[in-house]
Chain A
Amino acid sequence: MSDTTLDSAGPARPGPLWRLGALAIAAAAMMILAPLFLDRFTVNVLTRSMIFAILAVTVDLLWGFTGILTFGQAAFFGAGAYATAMVLTHMGSGPGLMALGLLLSILVPVALAAAVGWLTFYPGSSDFYATVISLVVPIVVTQLIYSGGTWTGSSSGLVGYFGLDLSLGGFFRLAGLCLVAVVFAALVFVRSDAGRVLTAIRNNETRCAYLGINTQAVKIALTTVLAGVTGIAGFLYANASGVVAPENTGFVFGTQLVVWTALGGRGTIIGPALGAVAIDYLSAQLSGQLPFLWQLVVGLMFVVMIIFMPNGLAALVTGWRRVRKGPAAAAPALVPIARRARGPASDAPLLQIERLEKAYGSHKVLEDITLTVRPGELVSLVGPNGAGKTTLMRCMTDGQAASGGTVRVNGESITGLVPNRIVARGIGRKFQVASVFESLTVAECLRMARAAHERPSFTRRRDTLALPQPAIEILRLTGLDRQLGAEVSLLSHGQKQSLELAMVVALEPALILLDEPTAGLTKAERTTIGTVLQTLTSELGLAAILVEHDLDFVRDISSRIVVLHQGRLVLDGTVEEVVNDDIVKRIYSGGDHG
């Protein structure tokens, strides 16, 4: 999904943790003092608004950062609120039962979200499907509550139970402190190395998968954890308001959360929190005097904002900051890491393709492909447009792509495996069009390539970047090592190609697949990439398969050439054999189209 307009989103600059902490403490102090200065009505309304603001922060993490548009947070919130209210109504309200209510208000949404996440995020699922499910869940939960009879209070909800024994001001402080804690934790998380994975998924989920990151698992985990947070908000709401109603779980409330998040500024955490508080508070203030007009104004603002300012009001602030500070973030220092020792090489060849076939209906794109690649080889795959070269690459990296035959890596078949599992077996793939993360920095992109090897930190941003020596070499040769802090969208076409190559090499693959790595590059850039590839294969023992149109380039660097024509492998031999072959001459002079 293209979202270039969101490039300015994201926690732009790394702020020292202590400064954030100091701000959080100041905010917490304000929350504790505020009830002394506010009237009853305001305290009451703001308590509710701040609970809703917690929900807006979770929507922002899912939608603003990860790109999952969800209306389902209302269902998890409602499930948590109802879990609490049902315990308090039907079982009573001692401290033990209150603890049970809190526990259930977390566990019920978490269990629900785990099931929903499993249903929603499967390999190949679409963005629309996640949105569809996020609509279904609140509807189902609401209907279950309607049909729950006295258990759930049906359409009138539950009321008249005894919640936490706190004053109005006490609830205000509790809600406020929870909000501050959630915002603080969210900000620390999104600025950490692990938090940047969310932005990477939003930018380019395919690339994430081909870096060995299990994006489905990340999304399921995020949905589940945030459902727990949402459930706690539900617990607070059930106690503070003293009433839960089916509307609290409905998808209309879910859309409201999205509206607040959008108006506040998606991808900023603070924006949605402030947006939720401000709009909900103003709604309460104005709904007495001009109820419909106010809703109308909110609706209009929302439409205008989505069209013209997709990053919300917060974009005004961050945009200004960006101009003042300049875009470059602090760059980490490069540290070489020792080469990962691979397990004892099996006797089986690194890559073994047998009678591979790919068909769309009755149309065969690939037929009877048999090919073996051993460590240290640099195999070039040539052939005219439409010969099936890119399809063959895909069949080697996606176990669900082929329609017949087998692909074995180190003797084990990859049939049925998803790309991130195949990457884990030592295959790295560079795409034809540079596939990188536009709104991350160069260093962050490279860190993503290492994310499957070393778990990124959830709390901080490392100031070193550990990469295998060959990847550092590529960065040096292409000058990218001096631009580690630059945002990728500012790089040239050639630099993006080099960056992607460095990312793939950073995976430490045993076999590297490159789809036209030199297309559109200058002569100098080509030579650099050629040198790098030769070093990787002849000195470090990697194998490489290269799809290439430039025959001179192929002749210079390959150890073997494979010719593909109309979905069949017509020739497999040394450079000399292939270049002098009659068939190849005919194919390339266009005489063989009969």
Chain B
Amino acid sequence: MTLILDILTTAAILFVIATGLLTIFGVLKIINFAHGAWLTIGAYCAVAVGQLGWSPWLAFPVAFVVGAVLGGLTERFIVRPLYARPLDAILATWGLGIVVGQLITLGFGRDVQFTAPLLPGTADILGTSYSIYRLFALGAAIVIGLGFSWLMEGTRLGLSARAVIMNEALAHVLGLDTRRIRWVTFMIGCGLAGLAGVLLTPLTSVDPNMGLAWLVGSFMLVMVAGQSFAALALACLLLGGAQVLVSTFLSPILGGITVAVLAAIILRISPKGFSRV
């Protein structure tokens, strides 16, 4: 039972973290290598909220807004000139990640920070006691997943975004403001990364380089998932599940590379990954 819950919650956490990256990759065809830095920003928003003495729950909206605003600036000044050079965009956003990491170090110091636990304790599920917070993360992943399907399927912005995903040139000719769609998408993606950062705080230590460890994993998941959220959920479940199994039964160190290795193999066999799901 614990194993099943571990798999589900690990997949959920991976999903929440990768969503922001997928949003941006799907619409902009750009890999945002500053994604790890935005996770860190979100986590430090939680730290700041704690230091100000506010309710820890406020960290979620704060991190979303801060992430989105900074993301908006990033798109305008760094990503926009690089749409024709996707590999350079990877590098520029990576450089931005370095800058953000150093700024956070200058502001908060390089030491590990702690935040107040949001939901301490355990709950009994079918006779197994399990961390409430990890269950909350599972709920959050489901909410974000459903919320996104609604956003993409049920709103005008989603319709425009899907048009851009399918055929950007045509969308532009049809009068859609593709530049604005990209901008908004990038903001949402960065906002989500901030949210994910807050969600991570009780699970991992908070330090200026914390985002790095999550960046590569989510990058791999997004490459496998292509452009679809359903495929991302599937990839998180399968690869996250494999990670939990390997960590539990073989070795935690091998577990750490499971996602990356499996993703590489899947892409070699089927270059489109799970995107046809």
Chain A interface (Cβ within 8 Å of chain B)? 1-3, 5, 67, 69, 119, 122, 124-129, 131-133, 135-136, 139-140, 143, 146-147, 251-252, 255, 258-259, 262, 292-293, 295-296, 298-300, 302-303, 306-307, 310
Contact = CB atoms under 8 A, between A and B. Distances in A.
A128 B271 CA distance: 11
B50 to A, nearest CB: 23
Looking at chain B's contact residues, the main secondary structure is helix
Contact of B85 (A5, A146, A299): A5
Contact of B106 (A132, A143, A296): A296
A259 B86 CA distance: 16
Given A131-B87, A132-B219, A143-B254, 10 more contacts: A122-B268, A131-B90, A135-B220, A146-B253, A147-B251, A255-B94, A258-B91, A303-B78, A306-B88, A310-B85
9 contacts: A67-B87, A132-B220, A135-B219, A136-B264, A139-B257, A147-B253, A298-B98, A303-B99, A307-B82
A119 B268 contact: yes
Query: Contact size class for B?
Result: 35 or more
Nearest to A262: B91
Contacts, number: 109
Contacts of A125: 271
B61 interface: no
Q: Which 8 pairs, one residue from A and one from B, show the smallest C-beta to C-beta distance?
A: A299-B98, A302-B95, A296-B102, A303-B95, A299-B99, A306-B92, A147-B253, A69-B87
A307 B81 contact: yes
Contacts of A292: 102, 105-106, 110
B253 to A, nearest CB: 4
A310 B88 contact: yes
B84 interface: yes
A153 to B, nearest CB: 14
B263 interface: yes
B106 A136 contact: no
Given A1-B86, A262-B91, A300 B267 contact: no
Contacts of A3: 85
A293 B105 CA distance: 10
A136 B261 contact: yes
A300 B95 CA distance: 7
Contacts of B212: 252
A135 B259 CA distance: 12
Nearest to A2: B84
Contact of A128 (B31, B88, B253): B31
Residue from B220, B254, B260 with most neighbouring chain A CB atoms (10 Å):
B260
A140 B219 CA distance: 15
A299 B267 CA distance: 31
Contact of B253 (A2, A136, A143): A143
A292 B108 CA distance: 12
A262 to B, nearest CB: 6
A398 B136 CA distance: 52
Contacts of A300: 95, 99
Given A140-B260, A143-B256, A299 B216 contact: no
Interface string B238-277: 0000000000000101101100110110011001000000
A258 B251 CA distance: 32
